[in-house]
Structure 1
Amino acid sequence: MSVFKGEDEVAELCRDLIRIDTTNPGDNTGPGERVAAEYVAGKLAEVGLEPRILESDSKRASVIARIEGEDSGRGGLVLHGHLDVVPFNASDWTHHPLSGEVADGCVWGRGAVDMKNMDAMILAVVRQRLSEGRRPPRDVVLAFTADEEAGGEYGAQWLTTEHPELFEGCTQAIGEVGGFSVSVGEGNRLYLIEAAEKGIAWMKLTATGRAGHGSMLSSENAVTELAEAVGRIGRYEWPIRLTPTVRDFFKEAFDIELEADDAEAAVAKLGPLARMIGATLRNTANPTMLDAGYKANVIPQTATAHVDGRFLPGYEDEFFATIDELMGPNVRREFVYHDIALETAFEGPLVKAMADSLLAEDPGARAVPYTLSGGTDLKALSGLGIRGFGFAPLRLPADLDFSGMFHGIDERVPIDSLKFGVRVLDRFLDAC
């Protein structure tokens, strides 16, 4: 067997994955993940693994492989990454989002940030370790999933429901949206590790009135009723709710015992990070779509809107009680997608392994917990009792707005950051 050097091939692995179109429009259309799954399975098979490709639907493919550890009696670890990406408008980009272009020391393309970078790092470190004959201390399950960008119905949700045996014995996991560096102030380089994530409530609101001629009086106008409800929801100022992870972030990063009255002022000092951390101070509900009517002089019987709701761990009941009050009695809601919030304590051997691995490669590193305003496949894994964190380690240039590129334009990841991630993950696997 050839020996593969993870740092040497990680950029090319990332480029290859980006060039495979796995755009997920969210309605079970698009190219699917099958081609990418076959690519990943081939790379794993080259180093002696027996990966399984599982399809939940035509072309909706995930890859699972298990590496036997030195002590299979210990709880196993899941390394997970999703293969799908969100859509794009290529004309907005400097380099075509499916090109995998290398420019300015970076790999560019859709998925370079979310999350084919981590997929490539997992492949690179696993290929190096196995080609060198190095087994991890415990069993490791590799999961490259479909459909994360639409909630995982055809990916992680399906896998954990239909094939829970694939994760037998696993107790912990690491995945996306954590472990990347953020520079705050002079010499203060933080590595944000996701220890919590908000719950998701994508809702469709419907108002029903009386259809009629647009020239006549109408006291039961569905458009008016819906517009007023949407306005109340969109303008509502949700109260600050400081969860344990948010408090821990400020304590670990800045030695601040945060209080609600000071929270917004503290966040305002975080620079580009304020957008990410600010969304974790409170529940949010943003109207995103409106639909009503079919002719200017016809009052429609129904009007609908969509709202993207996100609730903090521990505040789901408060969120829905508030939404129902804001909607009013003449608007009903239904779920487009609904999933739980998560939170775990930032402590224990796995946390120490992450922090120590970062520190070994970057003496200026400070690992701190944070709450993700979105969601990941960890929600599905948690249903099997698996405790997880977001840990896709990258040391980034101080002036790179990494978090701003999630689902944005000109996604790119520095090649040096990918190599750093391979080294950190290799140390982490030895330590965990």
Structure 2
Amino acid sequence: MTSPPVPAPATDEVVGICRDLLRIDTTNTGDTASSAGERVAAEYVAGKLAEVGVAAELRESAPGRTSLVARIPGTDPGRGALLVHGHLDVVPADASEWSVHPFSGELRDGYLWGRGAIDMKDFDAMVLAVVREWQTTGVRPPRDLVLAFTADEEAGGEYGAHFLADHHRDLLDGCTEAIGEVGGFSYSVTEDLRLYLIETAEKGIDWLRLHARGRPGHGSMVHDDNAVTALAEAVARVGRHRFPLVITPTVRTFLEQVCDLLGIEFDPDHPEAAIGKLGPIANIVGATVRNTANPTRLAAGYKDNVIPGRASATIDCRSLPGQSELLLRQLREVVGPDIEIEYAQRQPAVETSFDGALVDAMGAALRAEDPGARPVPYMLSGGTDAKAFQKLGIRCFGFAPLRLPADLNFSALFHGIDERVPVDGLKFGVRVLDRFLRNC
């Protein structure tokens, strides 16, 4: 691997860029009418690129729902381009629950705080910092880089990545591989050994609506055909249900390697025993050994003393690769025949192998900055914009490098309160990303 000088301007600048982005409220409520700030953030990114001579294309899928794409020519135009993508929207945050204002971008205790600090304005800032440094110093990547900063990832990407893939495919022309969230972060095994989890798979999105129907009536009377009762019973069954254990190749590889390093026996028939010893990443890994379904919303009725004729619930289902249809059949058995099921959103799982030159470049870049780094593949329990880009035949990885403090519960920060990113981790990420993109 080429060992360039540490890009000091980029590592200095990344904190300021990330702070600027955190101060732009890009809350995505899932409803265009109440979402905010994506256009402002996209224009900020476009301005930062324009300052160093990079032209960007802004595309708006609906008023304010803006994504941005820019292309940086590489030294070998005959190679497939690398897509580097990050989203600009964030989930809502209730300021009353936070130690700092969620859109303050406050620096405190060695962390940069704010909604989006790790999901994923940190990576957006890393990319901008590296690109700006390269444009200033004349560095060219070995292959074309296509930068995509998207809207709407937090609601499934219909107005962002999927809009680009479906309606502006020309902007992604020639891309064969991609990196984005959530991967490249560290998990400390010992003082001298850190696993860096590279996302090679993520579960599918199967967001469902359950509907129960009954006979409307007066709330004061005895009523044995109540839609709310029927729905509540079905939702309770879903919430308590555990789907059968399934160990996919990606998860098996991860667990075997981690258990070997931790000196834990790996029993494929009872993986939870090992997963329970993984500390802050147990929640993510534990959700990748089976299909999952979690009730998230309820809706029924229009007056306190009227029994409604219909009640509905939203179920957030996540399917393992190739198991979307199976999950639906399993859920049907749980809720029973009288409950209607409809899809609110459906996106297939993503999975690729942990091999090839791009994976080698990831590992080399990590080890150059952290001799104790050991990259391992893993499956993300959630979803990312990779689902949109995979439709175009692009091989997708989660690689947004961060070296984390051993005691930081990283997974709890995603969509959680007091979201924050370590400043040293941000700077580490810039150095790793710089090395990786020079050699990808």
What is the CA distance between 1:5 and its match in structure 2?
Answer: 1.6
Deviates more, 1:71-80 or 1:309-318: 309-318
Aligned residue among 287, 299, 302 for 1:291: 299
> Secondary structure of 2:187's partner?
strand
Corresponding residue for residue 175 of structure 1: 180
**Cα distance in 2 between the residues matched to 1:332 and 1:145:** 34
Q: Which residue of 2 aligns with 1:419?
A: 427
Deviations for 1:374-429, whole angstroms, at most 9, x for unmatched residues? 10000000000000111000111111112210111111111111111111011101
Is 1:395 equivalent to 2:403 in the alignment? Answer: yes
2:379 corresponds in structure 1 to 371
Given residue 48 of structure 2, which amino acid in structure 1 is its aligned partner? K
1:17 maps to amino acid: L
Question: How much does 1:32 deviate?
Answer: 3.4
Contact 1:4 1:131 in 2 (8 A): no
C-alpha deviation, 1:214, in angstroms: 3.5
Q: 1:49 maps to what in 2?
A: 54
Deviation at 1:164, TM superposition (A): 0.5
CA contact (8 A) 1:178 1:390 kept: yes
Per-residue deviation, 1:167: 0.7
Does 2:119 correspond to 1:114? Answer: yes
CA contact (8 A) 2:319 2:327 kept: yes
2:97 matched residue in structure 1: 92
Distance of 1:288 and 1:429 partners within structure 2: 39
Paired position in structure 1 for 2:18: 14
The answer as to 2:170 corresponding to 1:165 is yes
Q: In the alignment, is residue 327 of structure 1 matched against residue 335 of structure 2?
A: yes
TM-score (ref. length: structure 1): 0.96
Does residue 197 (structure 1) correspond to residue 202 (structure 2)? The answer is yes
- Find the aligned partners of 1:50 and 1:200 in 2 and give their Cα distance: 34
Distance (Å, rounded) in 2 between the aligned partners of 1:186 and 1:208: 58
**Alpha-carbon distance in structure 1 between the residues aligned to 2:30 and 2:268:** 37
1:257 offset after TM fit, Å? 8.4
Partner of 2:257: 252
Alpha-carbon distance, 1:252 to partner: 2.9
Q: What's the secondary structure of 1:184's corresponding residue?
A: strand
Determine helix, strand or coil for the equivalent of 1:429. Answer: helix
Q: How do 1:33-48 residues align onto structure 2 when only pairs under 5 Å count?
A: 33-48=38-53
Q: Distance in 2 between matches of 1:245 and 1:53?
A: 36
Q: Secondary structure at the match of 1:141?
A: strand
SS of residue in 1 equivalent to 2:165: helix
CA contact under 8 A between 1:246 and 1:370: conserved in structure 2? yes
Distance apart, 1:352 and its partner CA:
0.6
Greater CA drift, 159-168 or 245-254? 245-254
Residue 30 of structure 1 deviates from its aligned partner by 2.3
1:314 is displaced (CA, Å) by: 2.1
Instruction: Please list every run of 5 or more consecutive structure 1 residues that lacks an aligned counterpart in the other structure.
Output: none
TM-score, normalized by length of structure 2? 0.95
CA deviation digits over 1:177-233, x for unaligned, max 9?
A: 110111135543111111100111111111111112334454432122212211221
Return closer, same or farther for 1:99/1:216 CA change in 2, 3 Å cut-off: closer
Instruction: Name the aligned partner's letter for residue 5 of structure 1.
Output: P
Partner of 2:3: none
Alpha-carbon distance in 1 for matches of 2:112, 2:222:
60
SS of equivalent to 1:149: helix
* Higher deviation after alignment, 252-261 or 30-39: 252-261
Question: What is the Cα deviation at residue 260 of structure 1?
Answer: 3.1
**Aligned sequence identity (%):** 63
Label 1:4 to 1:361 Cα distance change in 2 as closer, same or farther (>3 A): closer
Distance in 2 of aligned mates of 1:180 and 1:156: 23
CA–CA distance in 1 between the matches of 2:101 and 2:317? 32
Which residues of structure 2 form unaligned runs of 5+? Answer: 1-6
> Are the aligned partners of 2:281 and 2:410 in contact in 1 as well (CA < 8 Å)?
no
Instruction: List aligned pairs for 1:298-317, cutoff 5 A.
Output: 298-317=306-325
What do you get for the CA RMSD once the two structures are aligned?
A: 1.5
- Structure 2 residue matching 1:21: 3-state secondary structure: coil
Please state if 1:351 is matched with 2:356: no
Aligned equivalents of 2:55 and 2:314: distance in 1?
A: 43
Contact 2:98–2:418 (CA<8 Å) still a contact in 1?
Answer: yes
Paired residue type of 2:426: L
> Post-superposition shift, 1:335?
1.8
Stretch of structure 1 that moved more, 357-366 or 219-228: 219-228
More deviation, 112-121/291-300? 291-300
The letter of the residue matching 1:209 is G
Is the Cα–Cα contact under 8 Å of residues 259 and 274 in structure 2 kept in the other structure?
Answer: no
Aligned to 2:418: 410
Q: Name whichever of 373-382 and 333-342 sits farther off.
A: 333-342
Partner Cα separation in structure 1 for residue 117 and residue 412 of structure 2: 13
Amino acid at match of 1:12: G
Distance, in Å, in 2 between the alignment partners of 1:369 and 1:175 is: 14
Map 1:204-215 onto structure 2 (within 5 A): 204-215=209-220
Q: Tell me if the contact between 1:232 and 1:327 (Cα under 8 Å) persists in the aligned partners.
A: yes
What residue number does 2:9 align with?
A: 5
Which amino acid in the other structure matches residue 160 of structure 2? G
Q: Match for 1:342 among 343, 350, 355?
A: 350
Residue of structure 2 equivalent to 1:62 = 67
Give the conservation status (yes or no) of the 8 Å contact 1:67–1:141.
yes
Residue 293 of structure 1 contacts residue 303 of structure 1 at CA under 8 Å; is this kept in 2?
yes
| Counterpart code for 1:427 | R
Task: Quote the Cα distance in structure 1 between the aligned partners of 2:190 and 2:381.
Answer: 23
Listed as ranges, the matches of 1:69-80 within 5 Å are 69-80=74-85
1:382 is aligned to 390
Say if 1:247 and 1:257, in contact at 8 Å, map to a contact too: no
Aligned 8 A contact 1:203 1:334 in 2: yes
Given that 1:247 and 1:258 are in contact with CA atoms closer than 8 Å, whether structure 2 keeps it comes out as no
